[in-house]
Amino acid sequence: MEIPGEYFVRVILVILMLGSVLMSSSAAEPQQLNLMPMPVSVQMQTGQLVIDPSFSVGISGQSDAQLQRAVERFLNDLRRQTGMPPLDMKVTSPVQAKLMVHREHESKAVQEVGEDESYSLEISTAGAKLDAVTTLGIMRGLETFLQLVQTTSDGFAAPAITIHDKPRFPWRGLMIDVSRHFIPLDTLKRNLDGMAAVKLNVFHWHLSDNQGFRVESKKFPKLTEMGSDGLFYTQDEVRDLIAYAHDRGIRIVPEFDMPGHSTAWFVGYPELASGPGPYQIERKWGVFDPAMNPAEERTYKFLDSFIGEMANLFPDQYFHIGGDEVNGKEWDANPNIQMFVHAHGLKTNQDLQAYFNTRVQKIVSKHGKIMVGWDEILRPDLPKNIVVQSWRGQDSLAAAARQGYRGILSYGYYLDLMWPASRHYAVDPMGDGAANLTPEEKQRILGGEACMWSEYVSPENLDSRIWPRAAAVAERLWSSQDVTDVSSMYERLENVSRWLDWLGLTHNSSYGTMLRRIAGSNDISSLQTFTDVVEPVKDYTREEIATVEATSLSPLNRVIDAARPGSDTARHFADLVDALMGDQADSNAKQEVRTLLIRWRDNQANLQALETQSFLLREIVPLSRDLSAVAATGLQALDYLDRGERAPDAWATQQFALLAEAQKPKAQLLLMIVPSVQKLVEASSGQKAPSPQK
Amino acid sequence: MEIPGEYFVRVILVILMLGSVLMSSSAAEPQQLNLMPMPVSVQMQTGQLVIDPSFSVGISGQSDAQLQRAVERFLNDLRRQTGMPPLDMKVTSPVQAKLMVHREHESKAVQEVGEDESYSLEISTAGAKLDAVTTLGIMRGLETFLQLVQTTSDGFAAPAITIHDKPRFPWRGLMIDVSRHFIPLDTLKRNLDGMAAVKLNVFHWHLSDNQGFRVESKKFPKLTEMGSDGLFYTQDEVRDLIAYAHDRGIRIVPEFDMPGHSTAWFVGYPELASGPGPYQIERKWGVFDPAMNPAEERTYKFLDSFIGEMANLFPDQYFHIGGDEVNGKEWDANPNIQMFVHAHGLKTNQDLQAYFNTRVQKIVSKHGKIMVGWDEILRPDLPKNIVVQSWRGQDSLAAAARQGYRGILSYGYYLDLMWPASRHYAVDPMGDGAANLTPEEKQRILGGEACMWSEYVSPENLDSRIWPRAAAVAERLWSSQDVTDVSSMYERLENVSRWLDWLGLTHNSSYGTMLRRIAGSNDISSLQTFTDVVEPVKDYTREEIATVEATSLSPLNRVIDAARPGSDTARHFADLVDALMGDQADSNAKQEVRTLLIRWRDNQANLQALETQSFLLREIVPLSRDLSAVAATGLQALDYLDRGERAPDAWATQQFALLAEAQKPKAQLLLMIVPSVQKLVEASSGQKAPSPQK
């Protein structure tokens, strides 16, 4: 039986709802499949392949060093996953192998967009076969295999299964901004491991911005000497990371943002700028005035030399020049630039930027690269081979595609906005305006990129801002468009999240250490109970409601910096509340809801003991009181429901006011259980809560 | 008021018992001091020094690269501890510094035994001063400063305090055996960070044994080519680790065990052995027959060349030749060796080994090193400058000291025996036979070493076998002999343990990942409830009661491999039981005991759901049933006590039998709450449990 991915997901869900955790009736079968991203086609077979110390991998046909390293890495991951010693699980001759790996030819020395990543994986009780056209396909298939291995009653095992898989989009990226906060190499490496685990294939390295220039230039050493606070990557380190990424089937696309977002360049090279200078490394966030001078030939001479150097350092075919958010103020204020504008018959600053982009594009092209830039670069005078990265949305992307330009979507994938995974998951590069494109135009939409802007991230909490949510974006970009079941996504996301722990990602492990620092104590139970049900405010609200302006000097040690972008606890609570109010009132759910509400109601009393002890706790006291009050409201509503008694209108009105107050951000945090408790109050009173006032 | 360490500890305890967690009456003061090891002298002052982003360190007088790196590392640790960005907290001019660092002269290029490690740290509300004779002293003082920084109501702060400190012993070591299981470099590095944090100063690197030869020799490449399974350190890696250790004030003493424990050498160089060969890397544990041939000159020629190479690679003055556990069988069986024995008038194999040691000592000495070896090497014909490492105990050490030999104690510090921290803590190098030495003889006892033999450790669980217990040994070797309060030690040990999380040690973080693997599920609550109250069997019982012989190929993924050597939960439970039975019956304690017993009684029901799902869980079912039964017994005893009713004799007899059964190891695990529940049964029945039958 050949079944498409989405159908398969539904099958899993039905089985789960029936209360079984098994894919088949045999008790020896592993649990549900934790695959993420979901493959294109999955065909279950009977039985399972036991993975024991004798497990071995054979490579049939021709091999090369990259393939061998991929297999070795796979074996290391498998050893770590199973706790087998390094002496077990070997690369062996094809005849004896439990897993036969075969690929038709090696991958390109420099990984290309659209290079074949497809694979077929066939697992039977006797052994497994992994076939692919390229080494890239083998890497993807090996990750799938790892996700299939589970602890079962018979040992570690992978279920008998046939999978045919390939990505929906060729460009599946993660951007990390290392300018606003510097991110050390080892932190990037573990994030590349995470990317490979969920089949992302582009690391977009945002290397320069107003707040720092992060890569060594031998031609222009003052870029880092004066523009980085000493926090930058040497060229050797860059080469090291590129090799690391290449081994994992990940391209590295460097971005040097220009002509705006470039203050850090001007600290060492003020002659590049449009203003008089001098310039200093920017410590604040936002759009600033400094911009390169597009009217001076020396700017292009500099860029020619610089881009030439970087084009050599970064082997990828694509080169990102940013090109976003120029406010034009320095251009307006510079008489020479204004003369230049008139002399060239340009009308607006946009025209001037287009002129700049055209010049830069020629330089990028001269050095053998294809230019990538944000929406703003798009002007019809640029050649059709450039790529537009859209923060504006699918309509903007579609418009570009209609003009013949290729594009990638980042609108909807900004991880720094603290959206829940479900919201990112719902955004499709082919949605909205892109849905009506012709098949030929659709080909021009290459994929998307999750973006991690780093105003509020440090090496300590970066992972928890990226993971596990980036895995939901990875599935969107790899799996069929109709794989959209949110419950299934979350179910598998929680598994992926725990699975990423093995790779050394710290999104889970740093939570406790951060909370212990905040509490000033090893006993964090009440603080964690609180933090588990709050989320950082969304979008750009953190800035908008800040009482003290945040800068790159602000410590990121507050509860908001530890709190997770998506509260699993609040989400589970919402599911339980829905279950208890459903047609078949679920008495287990009701009991669990009550237990949770009691814990939350009593939590403030416990948290109080810590308050006097830690300055970092003080700001959450009002919200912690809200949590207790809201939980008490929920318990009262539950009592009314239990007694089958309609709650009085006056009571309901009072509770709605309390809930509306509790829904307001405090300490830049949101209390995520409020909507569910509101449902309980509505159900118990028959009243509807008033719509929130804007 | 100048107070010695032990008195100070008592003061803390009294304050703690009074229910206060503060060192003074001001609410702005930080919590209790988490110092470990306890300094020689601590004088509390009033107030505290707030640590904010403006915190800076100045170096007065002459500096050097090692000192600057130490200060930079300190600032990094402080940033990590407080969540400050890397732009904060600087090295600055002495005038502006919040912490002034001054040392008289640099440390030796090659760190020496007995080099001055003393320091004085004075912290006031205005600033802090750290003075030392050498850079080593500065390193120790900086670690003390880091331990003093706490989250307080006024921000991060260190209390105003005056500390004068120096180590009791000059040799405070940790040995890690990397032969039986190979331990990668990054794992060793994080353990060196842990050592530095608790002021240990010798890393004894057990580099060769029957199961593997782990360091590259350029002169004898087959040592690793054939004797390491490809798992070894290159010479560059060795140099890297030595530099890493040196920067942290840690000497590295290499050990190449000979003439026994040397099978791995013979795989590539069988001509070194006393038997006919061929040899294979040993996969099992124990004492084996192969030994070097002491009767052949080629053996000494080889060792001269090899030791010469290694003496160059390892700069430390000391060179460990092992010398333990030769069973003599290969010597007895080799007619040439027997001829040699007779020709040289030797009487026993011990004499032959002494001959070998004398020869080797001359080689070691020729290459500029001082020989170290285990007890067995000690024979009066060896020069007095050698050092004996004693696994036999203080009597053996004292005997050596009387003969003029220096020694270090490892008896009582074998971490692989799974003793609780308190048991290691009670062992003093000057205890037992050493107590009666003359002052001059006592000088010869240089200190001690915690030993981590690696039969049952992998990179995954190594940290949890070393930490936090090694910190208790570190305190024994650094602090005054009268610092012996076990409650205080445990209190501070739990803080140190959490504090080591910041350094990247995985003793806490790997617990959850290992349990999730065992459960085959993210929901490990019931498995953790179980594992929290069990400990691995002690001493060599794991081997003695194994049903399948363990080898280096055995996966280390069982509950015993995750379970902690010392159960904090069971220890706390024992304290609670003592409290509830004390003169002033503590009703809070009684309630807590009841809550815990109920959770344990009901746990098996929850664990059952996982049992069918994971082969790794099956073996713990009988012990999990014991836990439920024992907890039920405890609850019944509590009920009798509550009712003031004497439990019937027949009931007590029955419970004692049940407890005796539950005390027997199952799945090589011990249920640690049994003795406390037995106390409850005894108290409720007035009966004494029968003594266990041998």
Q: Is B88 on the interface with A (CB under 8 A)?
A: yes
Residues of chain A falling short of pLDDT 50? 1-31
Interface subset of A 551-580, CB within 8 angstroms of B: 552-557, 561
- Cβ distance B85 to A614 less than 8 Å, yes or no, reads no
Calculate the CA dihedral of residues B419, B425, B429, B430 and round it to 10 degrees. -130
Burial of residue B6 (number of CB atoms within 10 Å: 0-12, 13-18, 19+): middle
With beta carbons less than 8 A apart as the criterion, state whether B332 and B340 touch: no
Helices (H), strands (E): how many in chain B? 27, 20
A557: distance to nearest CA of chain B, Å?
Answer: 5
Pairing state of beta strands A251-258 and A202-209?
parallel
B437: distance to nearest CA of chain A, Å?
Answer: 43
Which one is predicted more confidently, B34 or A448? A448
Q: Where are the beta strands (DSSP E) in A491-622?
A: 534-536
Total residue count of chain A as it appears in this document? 694
C-alpha–C-alpha distance, residues B77 and B57, integer Å: 13
Neighbour-count burial for A353-377, b at 16+ CB within 10 Å, e otherwise: bbbbbebbbebbeeeebbbbbbbbb
Tokens representing A36 are 């993420």
Strand partners, A204: A175, A253
C-alpha–C-alpha distance, residues B35 and B9, integer Å: 10
DSSP 3-state assignment of A160?
Answer: strand
* Minimal Cβ distance to A553: which of B53, B514, B615: B53
C-alpha–C-alpha distance, residues B628 and A548, integer Å: 54
- Tokens 């994992």 — which residue? A248
C-alpha–C-alpha distance, residues A399 and A394, integer Å: 8
- Cβ distance B522 to A555 less than 8 Å, yes or no, reads no
Query: Residues of A with CB below 8 A from B616's CB?
Result: 151
Angle among Cα B525, B530, B533 to the nearest 5 degrees reads 125
Closest listed residue to residue A545, CA positions, set A672, A665, A692, A418? A665
- Cβ distance B615 to A495 less than 8 Å, yes or no, reads no
Choose from B76, B181, B558, B615 for mutation: most chain A CBs within 10 A.
B615
* Minimal Cβ distance to B83: which of A27, A155, A460: A460
Query: Residues of A with CB below 8 A from B153's CB?
Result: 612-615, 618
Q: Residue B20 pLDDT > 80, yes or no?
A: no
**B143 catalytic, yes or no?**
no
DSSP 3-state assignment of B690?
Answer: coil
**One-letter amino acid of A345:** G
Position B11 scores a pLDDT of 41
C-alpha–C-alpha distance, residues A176 and A182, integer Å: 10
Q: Residue B6 pLDDT > 90, yes or no?
A: no
C-alpha–C-alpha distance, residues B250 and A4, integer Å: 59
Position A20 scores a pLDDT of 32
Q: State the complex-level ipTM.
A: 0.92
For residue range A36-61, list pLDDT tens digits in order. Answer: 999 999 999 999 999 999 999 999 98
- Cβ distance A520 to B150 less than 8 Å, yes or no, reads yes
C-alpha–C-alpha distance, residues B597 and A609, integer Å: 26
- Cβ distance B517 to A83 less than 8 Å, yes or no, reads yes
Calculate the CA dihedral of residues B90, B92, B97, B100 and round it to 10 degrees. 100
Interface subset of B 603-632, CB within 8 angstroms of A: 612-616, 618
Q: Residue B260 pLDDT > 60, yes or no?
A: yes
Contacts for B310 with CB less than 8 Å, ≥ 6 apart: B215, B217, B254, B256, B319
Position A3 scores a pLDDT of 43
Q: Residue B8 pLDDT > 50, yes or no?
A: no
Look at A277-281, B12-16, B450-454, B627-631 and tell me which has the smallest mean pLDDT: B12-16
Q: Is A17 on the interface with B (CB under 8 A)?
A: no
- Check: pTM over 0.90? Answer yes or no: yes
C-alpha–C-alpha distance, residues A567 and B193, integer Å: 34
Position B5 scores a pLDDT of 45
Question: Which one of the listed residues A6, A112, A325, A592 is annotated catalytic?
Answer: A325
CB count in 10 Å sphere of residue B487: 14
C-alpha–C-alpha distance, residues B126 and B593, integer Å: 46
Residue B693: which pLDDT band, with cuts at 50, 70 and 90? low
Choose from B16, B26, B84, B151 for mutation: most chain A CBs within 10 A.
B151
With beta carbons less than 8 A apart as the criterion, state whether A442 and A401 touch: yes
Give the residue-averaged pLDDT of B21-33: 42
**One-letter amino acid of B89:** M
- Tokens 């002659």 — which residue? A271
Distances (CA, A) of B232 to A619, B174, B184, B278, B303: 52, 20, 8, 22, 20
Percent of chain A exceeding pLDDT 90 equals 89
Tokens representing A156 are 């570690």
| Pure H helices in B344-485 | 349-366, 394-402, 421-425, 439-442, 462-466, 469-478
CA-derived radius of gyration, chain A: 27
CA-derived radius of gyration, chain B: 27
Q: Name the average pLDDT for chain A.
A: 93
Position B61 scores a pLDDT of 86
Position A15 scores a pLDDT of 37
Distances (CA, A) of B348 to A377, A668, B328, B344, B351: 88, 79, 9, 11, 5
Handedness of CA B297, B298, B299, B305 (dihedral sign): positive
**Cα A68 to chain center, whole Å?**
29
Give the residue-averaged pLDDT of B48-67: 94
Q: Where are the beta strands (DSSP E) in A324-433?
A: 370-374, 387-390, 406-409
For residue range A122-138, list pLDDT tens digits in order. Answer: 999 999 999 999 999 99
C-alpha–C-alpha distance, residues A129 and A131, integer Å: 6
For residue range B285-297, list pLDDT tens digits in order. Answer: 999 999 999 999 9
State the first-to-last Cα distance of chain B, in angstroms, to the nearest integer: 53
Give the residue-averaged pLDDT of B535-545: 96
DSSP 3-state assignment of B510?
Answer: helix
**One-letter amino acid of B29:** E
Q: Name the average pLDDT for chain B.
A: 93
Position A32 scores a pLDDT of 63
* Minimal Cβ distance to A87: which of B229, B516, B615: B229
Position A13 scores a pLDDT of 38
For residue range B134-176, list pLDDT tens digits in order. Answer: 999 999 999 999 999 999 999 999 999 999 999 999 999 999 9
- Cβ distance B86 to A21 less than 8 Å, yes or no, reads no
